Amino acid sequence: MCGIVGVHGFAATARDERAHLQRMRDTMVHRGPDDAGIWQAADRSVALAHRRLSIVDLSAAGRQPISNEDGSVWLTFNGEIYNHAGLREPLIAAGHTFRSRCDAEAIVHGYEEHGPAVVDALDGMFAFGLWDAGARRLLLARDRLGKKPLYYVEVGGRLLFASEIKALLAHPDVGRDLDPVALDLYLTFGNVPAPRTLFAGIRKLPPAHVLTCTRERGIEVRRYWSPLDAETFGRPVPDDEAADHTLTLLRRAVHKRMMSDVPVGALLSGGIDSSANVALMTELLGRPLRTFSVGFTGFGPGENFHDLPYARRVAAAFGCEHHEIAISAEECRAHVPELATQLDEPIGDPACLPMHFAARAARAGGVTVVLVGEGSDEVFGGYDALVHLLDTTVPRFESVRRLPRIVRRGLHGLARLLGAPAGRIDVLRRAARDEPLYWGLDVAFWDTEKAALLAHDRPSGGAADVVRGFYRELAARRPSADRLQQVSWVELCNRLPELLLMRVDKLTMAHSLEARAPFLDADLVSYALGLPSAHKIRGRITKYVLRRAVRGVVPRAVLERPKQGFRVPLPEWLRGELSGWARHQLRDAAIHRRGLFRRAELDRMWEQHVAGAYDHSFDLWCLLNLFAWYERWIEGSP
């Protein structure tokens, strides 16, 4: 796993960019502490740089940027290509010469054979920049599910790209300011959906997309893959067959992700997903697996904030070398400024806190690679809230949508007049305006709530437009998708890549640790997404097919354990130990100098939360992270 940067003056006068590139590259030493390199074309039209975390082929032969035999193709690459060994044989047969065992070379020579279509053959997680001197073309690519981030900005006829935003900000031509449209999106989703970021002008390449840049055509972006295109999508299949095939794909996905020349471990919560990882990894190892778990001081297992007792039982069942840490409210509070630096743009997910401490513990515990359970809930229907949503909320919403528009508008107006709860008012608002019901699992502020919170008119191009885009693509590719497939698709489009996976990437790489997610193997995602809903939610049982698949692989107690998730005792902390700090941060933040928020509304939310009248902890955490981000990146020093 690595950090990559590059500059291409596709519509600008050529100049020496090496000093700028080195400064950009070295903001990401944490992504690649083992080695570094820079290459610039003789005509200075393009320059690439790289920081290396050595995982496969630890020798100097794996140094990047790396080129083909005659230097006409150059690559800077971040990620792992699990099928690189299988790609080598036909490339060698075609006359290509490999100088290392690194997977990056398979991309270089694969590009020589197939051009930009090389991405279709890559099985793994990746982000890369590739320069083709013959075609005078820069190619950027991001993996299918968005496990690796890739940011870019066009300024003065130059395209700059990097693994992290902080690297782009280190270039003297790149300014920094808040994007008002992105702010509106962040307040809805707790993250900023691609292609925007919270920084004006800086973009992120969406998952499963490639960007090409040439002098003649400028910057072009296109999708190269979709799980909706799987031939098995929606096809009926018997329960046993679905479970057997799911286990086959999961076992294959774990096996691929054991590829490493450095120690591999696992983050373990004791739930189905991480326990399945540990079970299948143990099958492949001839020694105890190192596992790492996080808990919180001051809370017992009965208070639903502790993974440690469950993880401990799983680790014992599989003979793991188990490590535990318990973190306090004060430790989490002290980490918030560092969190703003590590993430580059805020992520309104309290689980960022345990992820940081788990990653730090794993690196200190002697591993360089960990397997994580992200993605399972999104593709297998693992959230308990989905049961109520699909059985009750969606049918009611659809019945309201069938009413004449004037009646829908009247119901919305009446709900506002009677002071109904904000969530109910917004459901009726969406029905009145023919907007989709489901926008994502963790919505912080609905449009009705944002209208009360923000002190200015909201910009056009808001969250409803983003979500409509997701549904348009789904309708074009799979018009018969059932309700759960629709929900999963929305999650795969935004919350998974730009919140969950961004959290995993940034907070593991901050500690020079590589995270791999077997449940987000492209073949497994395509198959699971395409399974009809009855295979995933049956009655009140979530992840039904996965539970059948791993029966006999993980302990029965794990299968019967209620879902807990990566929870944080934030509601209690904000009413107790962190109350004074949070109140000060909300009232006196530097962002208030811009007059963006109504302080009376902030006070109302705070008072409701402290009094226990309403749990605003997620909303408040989104704001606390936003305010810390603004102070670090907009008000702070470069």
Q: Please give the DSSP secondary-structure letter assigned to residue 205.
A: P
Give the end of a domain, one of 225, 247, 275: 225
Q: How big is the chain, counted in residues?
A: 638
The CA distance from 356 to 341, in Å, is: 12
Name residues whose C-beta falls within 8 Å of residue 593's C-beta, 6 or more positions apart in sequence: none
Same domain, 65 and 107: yes
Q: What is the CATH number of the domain that holds 196?
A: 3.60.20.10
Same domain, 277 and 362: yes
Q: Where does residue 223 rank: exposed (0-12), middle (13-18), buried (19+ CB within 10 A)?
A: exposed
Q: Which two tokens stand for residue 90?
A: 């036909």
CB neighbourhood size of 25 (10 A): 27
Output the pLDDT for position 185.
Answer: 97
Give the end of a domain, one of 477, 508, 536: 477
The CA distance from 135 to 130, in Å, is: 11
Same domain, 204 and 324: no
- Please tell me the total count of domains within the chain: 4
457 in a structural domain? yes
Output the pLDDT for position 305.
Answer: 55
484 in a structural domain? no
487 in a structural domain? no
Same domain, 364 and 425: no
Look at residues 507, 489, 532 and name the one whose alpha carbon lies nearest to residue 149.
Answer: 507
Residues of the chain below pLDDT 70 = 1, 54-61, 299-306, 461, 563-566, 637-638
Q: How crowded is the C-beta side of 70, counted as CA atoms within 13 Å? A: 6
Same domain, 58 and 179: yes
pLDDT per residue as tens digits for the range 102-154: 889 999 999 999 999 999 999 999 999 999 999 999 999 999 999 999 999 99
482 in a structural domain? no
Output the pLDDT for position 63.
Answer: 81
Q: Where does residue 556 rank: exposed (0-12), middle (13-18), buried (19+ CB within 10 A)?
A: exposed
Q: What is the largest CA-CA distance in the chain?
A: 75
Q: What is the pTM of this model?
A: 0.95
Q: Distance of CA 302 to CAs 126, 298, 307, 317, 355, Å?
A: 40, 12, 11, 22, 22
Same domain, 604 and 527: no
2 is known as an active-site residue? yes
- What is the per-residue DSSP string for 313-343? HHHHHTT-EEEEEEE-HHHHHHHHHHHHHHH
Output the pLDDT for position 560.
Answer: 84
The CA distance from 487 to 390, in Å, is: 9
Same domain, 466 and 511: no
Q: What is the CATH number of the domain that holds 376?
A: 3.40.50.620
Give the domain extent around 408: 385-477
Give the end of a domain, one of 225, 242, 261: 225
Catalytic residue among 2, 102, 213, 493: 2
Output the pLDDT for position 421.
Answer: 84
Q: Name the pairing type of β-strands 35-40 and 218-223.
A: unpaired
Same domain, 180 and 305: no
- What is the per-residue DSSP string for 577-590? TTHHHHHHHHHH-G
83 in a structural domain? yes
Same domain, 75 and 153: yes
Same domain, 461 and 524: no
> Look-up: residue for tokens 């975390």?
53
Same domain, 14 and 108: yes
**CA quadruple 217, 158, 79, 221: dihedral, nearest 10:** -30
Q: Where does residue 526 rank: exposed (0-12), middle (13-18), buried (19+ CB within 10 A)?
A: buried
Output the pLDDT for position 459.
Answer: 78
39 in a structural domain? yes
Q: Please give the DSSP secondary-structure letter assigned to residue 403.
A: S
40 in a structural domain? yes
Same domain, 134 and 43: yes
58 in a structural domain? yes
